[in-house]
């Protein structure tokens, strides 16, 4: 696990954008795993700007989103279909047929989850997975206690997660209780994981995930076992890390051949 601490969320997002852009340039047929929420918004804005400037082509790229609310129509303003269309897909040239997002209206949820896993395998697996981190350490919607080997499935949200996400809805009571989410086992099969976490509100979850024991009680801690995970933080999110100075030193003093970011 590489921990990269930058002064601001904007600077961390710029590093993330360069990593994603390098992946797509080096492998135009890349399969990207995408996250939603406020954390990756700046990243998506930067990727869209690169495309608009003629510097990044997504025409051969495929995407799989982490999750979606059960029961929300894709056009609902709080659905992740709507979020992705507004914040990324409508701004780049990824073909609609290459976009995959869990179907919150699926009539047979278990069958849909099985088909989603199959689609990821048939696409060749995820090359780069973008992740956010919940304030309780969840990844995707894998709440604390989720199986570390879990696959795409339906999950029941904790009240804490529903409360955290209420800002995207007109009323807290509108937040669904259930979601479809990629499992932790699915996420861990990605060739690279790129975790973004910003603000002091994420500091405790970051410290537990990066420096605490690996435990199902903190799903983010599983990334300690990933062979190619990068954790991008701003100063606030890194404020409780015991080894923050060391992480900054390592990033500042990388070998020259590693400093192309």
Residue pLDDT tens, the chain, 261 long: 999 999 999 999 999 999 999 999 999 999 999 999 999 999 999 999 999 999 999 999 999 999 999 999 999 999 999 999 999 999 999 999 999 999 999 999 999 999 999 999 999 999 999 999 999 999 999 999 999 999 999 999 999 899 988 988 888 889 999 999 999 999 999 999 999 999 999 999 999 999 999 999 999 999 999 999 999 999 999 999 999 999 999 999 988 877 656
Of the residues 127, 136, 164, 189, only one is catalytic, namely 136
Is 155 inside any structural domain?
yes
67 among known catalytic residues = yes
Tokens of 33: 């795993």
Tell me, what's the pLDDT at 240? 98
- Which residue of the set 68, 117, 143, 189 is catalytic? 143
Give the model's pLDDT for residue 221.
98
Let me know if residue 103 belongs to a domain. Answer: yes
Instruction: Give yes or no: 143 in active site.
Output: yes
Q: pLDDT value at position 168? A: 87
Q: Tell me, yes or no, whether 246 lies in a domain.
A: no
Measured CA to CA, the distance from residue 102 to residue 139 in angstroms comes to: 16
**How many domains would you assign to the chain?**
1
Residue in the structure block whose two tokens are 């410290």: 207
Active-site residue, from 138, 189, 226, 234: 138
- pLDDT for the residue numbered 261: 63
128 found inside a domain: yes
| Within-domain flag for 61 | yes
The three-state secondary structure class of 148 is coil
pTM of the model: 0.95
166-183 confidence digits (pLDDT tens): 988 888 889 999 999 999
Could you tell me if residue 197 is inside a domain?
yes
Facing residues of 232 across strands?
A: 4, 196
- Distance separating alpha carbons of residues 46 and 35, to the nearest angstrom: 15
- Per-residue confidence (pLDDT) for residue 260, from 0 to 100: 59
Parent domain of 121: 2-233
Side-by-side strand order, sheet with 229-233: 2-5, 229-233, 192-197, 128-131, 31-34, 62-65, 99-100
Whether residue 254 lies inside any domain: the answer is no
Enclosing H/E stretch for 99: strand 99-100
What CATH number should be reported for the domain holding residue 88?
3.40.50.1360
- Any alpha helices (H) in the chain, and if so which ranges? 9-26, 41-52, 80-87, 109-122, 159-165, 184-188, 203-211, 244-252
Cross-sheet strand order for the sheet of 153-156: 67-69, 178-181, 153-156
User: What tokens does 145 get?
Assistant: 């206690």
Question: Any catalytic annotation for residue 136?
Answer: yes
C-alpha to C-alpha distance for 255 and 257, rounded to whole angstroms: 5
**109 found inside a domain:** yes
């Amino acid at each position: 696990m590489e921990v990269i601490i930058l002064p601001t969320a904007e600077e961390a997002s710029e590093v993330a954008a360069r990593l994603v852009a390098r992946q797509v340039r080096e492998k135009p047929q890349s399969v990207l795993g995408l996250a939603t929420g406020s954390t990756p918004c700046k990243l998506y804005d930067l990727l869209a700007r690169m495309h608009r400037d003629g510097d990044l082509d997504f025409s051969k790229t495929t995407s799989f989103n982490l999750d979606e609310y059960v029961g929300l129509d894709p056009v609902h303003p709080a659905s992740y279909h709507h979020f992705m269309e507004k914040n990324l897909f409508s701004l780049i040239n990824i073909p609609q047929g290459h976009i995959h997002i869990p179907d919150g209206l699926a009539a047979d949820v278990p069958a849909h989850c099985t088909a989603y896993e199959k689609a990821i395998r048939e696409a060749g697996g995820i090359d780069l997975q973008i992740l956010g981190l919940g304030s309780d350490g969840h990844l995707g919607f894998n709440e604390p206690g989720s199986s570390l080997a879990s696959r795409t499935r339906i999950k029941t949200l904790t009240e804490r997660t529903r409360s955290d996400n209420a800002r995207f809805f007109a009323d807290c009571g509108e937040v669904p209780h259930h979601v479809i989410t990629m499992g932790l086992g699915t996420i861990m099969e990605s060739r690279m994981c790129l975790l973004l976490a910003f603000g002091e509100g994420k500091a405790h979850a970051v410290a537990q995930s990066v420096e605490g024991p690996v435990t199902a009680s903190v799903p983010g801690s599983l990334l300690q076992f990933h062979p190619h995970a990068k954790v991008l933080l701003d100063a606030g999110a890194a404020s409780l890390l015991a080894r923050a100075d060391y992480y900054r030193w390592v990033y500042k003093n990388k070998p020259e051949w590693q400093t192309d970011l």
